[in-house]
Amino acid sequence: MVKKILTINTVFSQGGAAKIARTLHDVLNKTPGFSSRFAYGRGKKIKSKEVFSFGVRSEAYLRAFLTRLMGLQGCGSWFSTKRLEGFILKEKFDLIHLHNLHGYYLDLSFVRFLNKLNIPIVWTLHDAWPITGRCSYFLDCNRWKTGCGSCPSLSMYPKTYLDSSALMWKKKKECFTKGWSPVVVCPSWWLADRVKESYLNKYRVEVIPNGVDTGIFKPKDRVKIQERLKISPSKKIILFVAADLREERKGTEYFFEALKYVKTKDCLVLTVGKKINLNQKTKENIEIKQLGYMSDNNLISDIYNTSDIFCTTSLQDNFPTTILEAMACGIPIIGFKTGGIPEQVSEDCGILIESRNVEELAEGIDELLSNNEKRNKFSLNCRRRVLENYSIEKFKEQYINLYKNLLK
């Protein structure tokens, strides 16, 4: 008997959470005994019978306004939520898999509806939003453990002018700890440990690392790609990727500050993500080429393969897919030792240093760019590590086993 799975996320086609959710949706539909539908609240309409867009745009604007002005999250999406509930009742799913519940598209009251279905619920956390009163990442703040309030990061997503974090912490706690029993999945042990310190500690917590398609993200002919993209083969290429280079949490300012200390000659920096105004952010002898936001995986794989090293300066992150993609292409990693990143990047795959230390970051960049033997060794280790631990096959197997266990 075929088991019907519903995947729910804020959007279908943009961002790391959507990519992971969509990957699982696709592999489920190729797995005997399972069928998958994907429901999302925001973004352009997808023409597929397997995909259902339930969001009402005007409600998304209303909810974004309420969040921005007063810090109120999880309200203002009544019609969108009812549309999703109607769809679920009609289709009669065997299991529902939640991903991001934030993003101005769904009422927190949806949890009460799920409890009435009497079916297994899996909830993959892609950030810390479910355990805080406001933010997706809490950086150096520990107020989320005791009730939030006096939030030090009102400018970070989801941005607000009024601090309602203490109120929202109580509301989330009441909503997320009563009337249902989801299995919480975290891609990293780092986030799993934070969940166990939060009000969600009553639930079963599993760790399933994200996976990448190693058939797309793989080592390629670098020379041919550089010729096609008109990149000089004499350049040392540093790659930096963030969906939005302006996002404070991605630490872009520390990356550009570190470039001022880099001694290696003939460097070219490639950035992927929404472009920013550089304004003399680096020294003159380092060329910077902003490629903009990309969604084509084959093109992104090509960009990885043009590069000598991949730099990440996130001030906090869960288990970034971009790092796995770079490693799958055999690109060594240099960056900050934060969140779940040390779980991905072992000592033989790259260099991780303490957060915000721009001079040591520059030293690490120079070390990798100047030491061809070490860089080549790291490259082989990166590819092997992804194949052994973070392939789509392993990712799929772990989730399928979880589904089967819950559906018995």
Q: Give residue-wise pLDDT tens across range 45-89.
A: 898 999 999 998 888 888 888 888 888 887 768 899 999 999 999
pLDDT score recorded for residue 368: 97
∠ CA 206-95-387, nearest 5°, is 45
Q: What are the b/e assignments for 363-377, b being 16+ CB within 10 Å?
A: bbbbebbeeeeebee
Reported confidence tier of residue 318, pLDDT bands at 50, 70, 90? very high
In one letter, which amino acid is 56?
Answer: V
**pLDDT, the chain, mean:** 93
Q: Give the per-residue pLDDT at 70.
A: 84
Torsions phi, psi for 160 (to 5 deg): -150, 160
Q: In what helix (H) or strand (E) does residue 208 lie, and over which residues does it extend?
A: none
Q: Decide if pLDDT at 405 tops 90.
A: yes
What does the pLDDT average to over 205-216? 97
CA proximity to 213, closest of 398, 390, 402, 35? 390
Apex CA 82: angle with CA 70 and CA 39, to 5°?
95
- Kindly provide the residue ranges of all beta strands, DSSP E only, lying in 291-403, ordered along the sequence: 309-312, 333-336, 350-353
Q: Contact 18/101 with Cβ under 8 angstroms?
A: no
- Number of helices and strands in the chain (H, E): 14, 13
Q: For residue 142, with 0-12 CB atoms within 10 Å meaning exposed, 13-18 middle and 19 or more buried, which class applies?
A: exposed
Q: What's the confidence (pLDDT) of residue 282?
A: 57
Cβ–Cβ < 8 Å for 331, 310: yes
The pLDDT tens digits of the residues spanning 231-287 come to 988 999 999 999 888 888 999 999 999 999 999 999 999 999 888 887 655 556 788
Question: Which of 2-27 are b and which e, b meaning 16 or more Cβ less than 10 Å from the residue's Cβ?
Answer: ebbbbbbbbbbeebbbbbbbbbbbbb
Using the Cα atoms of residue 289, residue 295, residue 298 and residue 304 in order, give the sign of their dihedral: positive
* CA nearest neighbour of 123 among 72, 195, 32, 59: 195
Over range 321-337, report the average pLDDT: 97
8-state DSSP, 387: H
Q: What is the pLDDT of residue 65?
A: 86
The DSSP 8-state label assigned to residue 396 in this structure reads: H
pLDDT at 284: 63
Query: What residues contact 120, with CB distance under 8 A and at least 6 apart?
Result: 94, 95, 96, 183, 403, 406, 407
Query: How far is residue 220 from each of residues 188, 249, 327, 330, 333, measured CA to CA in Å?
Result: 29, 31, 13, 9, 18
pLDDT, residue 62, reads 84
What's the average model confidence in pLDDT over 208-233?
A: 94
List, for residues 20-31, the tens digit of each pLDDT value: 999 999 999 999
Write out the two tokens for 95: 């299991």
Can you tell me the distance from the alpha carbon of 44 to that of 41, in angstroms, rounded to the nearest whole number? 10
Give the count of beta carbons closer than 10 Å to the beta carbon of residue 40. 26
Q: Which of 175, 202, 198, 288 has the alpha carbon at shortest distance from 238?
A: 288
Length of the chain measured in residues: 408
